[in-house]
Amino acid sequence: MRTIVALLLCLMLSPLTVAAEDDLPPIYGGGGGDDGDGDGDGEASNELPSIYGGGDGESSSGGDDFDLGALFGEGLEFIGRLDLWGRYYATREDELGSFAEARFDLTSRSGATKVEVSLLAHAYTGYDLQYSDGEELDLELDRANVGWFTENFELTLGRQKLARGPAYLFNPSDLFVNASFVDPTVEDPGVDALTGSLYFGRFSGFEATVVPRRYAADGTYGLRVFGNLAGFDCSAAYHHVGDYAPGIRNHFLTFWLNGDVIIGDWDGPGLWLELGWDLPYSDDLEVESTWRLDAGIEYTFGEDLTALVEYYHDEAGAADFADYDWLSLAAGDALVLGRDYLFASLDFDLASLITANALGLVNLSDGGGLVGPGVRFNLSDNVNATLGGFLFFGSVESEFGHDGVELGGFNVPSYPHLAYLRVEAAF
């Protein structure tokens, strides 16, 4: 019943929606990108292959549509997204499941002031690996902040997006959203914070971040410098994390750069490199420092074919299946299980309204992985449909091929093959 109510709510509010955001099913995903402005916020570039995306982010409206701007002023903007999934899981019982998500963003601008509020609603019913078998409805306030902007300065207070780094699937420098690859493309949740940026040019400046906690010592405090080096956007940052883990605090250093290789008239590939160092310390415990690295390349051949390859290394991961830390992964304290991963994607335009894609992910530590073929159809300016699936492979002692892991009272289910139909509507 709650699922029906959620879907009705989505449909009633759908006139406010525009193109759906890029994401994979909630149990599989991708990471943030960089929009080329030096902040690594992932708003525009390094998007997922087009079969997992929704349009170009622009709404389409006729000349006779109701003009909200005329009623509320030109500084008021509504943005919404509606995303519906139907899935078949190749389990012993041939399970079915569905998922619906609606996001409604309200942004008001008046002079140098901006106010942003976002409401997120999602519901599921039937079988789902991310949840339990049943149904669920969630409503949450995902953004609620006020900002003040001048030509060279920005100040934002409240719940806001703090994603960082240009990497595609994994983000070593993303301190605030420590998601694993099983759910990396869901939009980064809002973080209660105060951020301030001082610009010294179009692509360079400083940024300070404060994420408060009840006790000041448990808060997160950071300083980041960003700029442009030989045509590549780059960033270096230091953060002190007070509540890194019980009894442990953390120094966190990050560095990344990304940009396109251009030689004469040749537009070469896009490249990125992202590094992160965890330097935990404790007065009572012995803890080890670890580092992460992500490197990738993306290139478009002609006008129809785009290829992407990404390599990720995490020193905190395990090289052997027996040493995988499933509990830390489930709790969000670990980014991955293995130590080395390789991701690749091919995106091909079959026709003006049809796009095919194939992606693959391999855990190089145990040889297991997944492949995900799909086809996306642009049914109209406002409606997209995607038909695809995920196939898993590997031995029983691999991350993607295991037949279930028992950890005391905690059970890690195996990954069944699945097929899905996704519909994105814009109104």
Give phi and psi for 328, each to the nearest 5: -65, -35
**Beta-strand pair 191-199/205-211:** antiparallel
pLDDT tens-digit map of 29-79: 333 334 444 444 443 333 333 323 333 333 333 334 444 444 444 578 888
According to the model, what pLDDT value does residue 244 have? 61
H-type alpha helices, 114-159? none
Instruction: Return the minimum-mean-pLDDT range out of 46-50, 114-118, 241-245, 347-351.
Output: 46-50
Question: Residue 54: which residues within 8 A CB-CB, separation 6 or more?
Answer: 19, 20, 21, 22, 81, 83, 384, 424, 426
Q: Domain 2-60+75-425 is in which class? A: mainly beta
How far is the CA of 427 from the CAs of 11, 19, 80, 326, 384, in angstroms?
10, 8, 9, 42, 12
Give phi and psi for 405, each to the nearest 5: -125, 125
pLDDT tens-digit map of 144-168: 999 999 889 999 999 998 877 888 8
Separation CA 397–CA 363 (nearest Å): 12
For residues 395 and 414, is the Cβ–Cβ distance under 8 A? Answer: no
Instruction: Return the minimum-mean-pLDDT range out of 144-153, 291-300, 386-395, 409-418.
Output: 409-418
**Beta-strand pair 76-89/266-281:** unpaired
Tokens of 419: 């097929």
Q: What is the pTM of this model?
A: 0.77
Give phi and psi for 2, each to the nearest 5: -60, -35
pLDDT range class, residue 335, cuts 50, 70, 90: confident
Percent of the chain beyond pLDDT 90?
A: 32
Residue 253 has pLDDT above 80, yes or no: yes
For residue 66, with 0-12 CB atoms within 10 Å meaning exposed, 13-18 middle and 19 or more buried, which class applies?
exposed
DSSP state of 218: G
According to the model, what pLDDT value does residue 224 have? 94
Q: What is the mean pLDDT of residues 14-40?
A: 36
Q: What is the mean pLDDT of residues 8-35?
A: 35
For residues 113 and 41, is the Cβ–Cβ distance under 8 A? Answer: no
- Of residues 2 and 294, which shows the higher confidence score? 294
pLDDT range class, residue 340, cuts 50, 70, 90: very high
DSSP state of 22: P
Q: How many CB atoms lie within 10 A of CB 326?
A: 17
Tokens of 63: 């000349």
Question: Residue 140: which residues within 8 A CB-CB, separation 6 or more?
Answer: 119, 120, 121
According to the model, what pLDDT value does residue 410 have? 65
Separation CA 362–CA 340 (nearest Å): 9
**Beta-strand pair 418-425/205-211:** unpaired
Tell me, letter by letter, the H, E, C secondary structure of 234-263.
Answer: EEEEEEEEEEEECCEEEEEEEEEEEEEEEE
Q: How many CB atoms lie within 10 A of CB 3?
A: 18
For residues 274 and 256, is the Cβ–Cβ distance under 8 A? Answer: yes
According to the model, what pLDDT value does residue 370 have? 92
pLDDT range class, residue 80, cuts 50, 70, 90: confident
Separation CA 290–CA 244 (nearest Å): 14
Residue 278 has pLDDT above 70, yes or no: yes
For the chain, the structural domain boundaries read 2-60+75-425
Residue 316 has pLDDT above 50, yes or no: yes
For residues 15 and 424, is the Cβ–Cβ distance under 8 A? Answer: no
Write down the mean pLDDT value for the chain.
77
Residue 135 has pLDDT above 80, yes or no: no
- Of residues 308 and 21, which shows the higher confidence score? 308
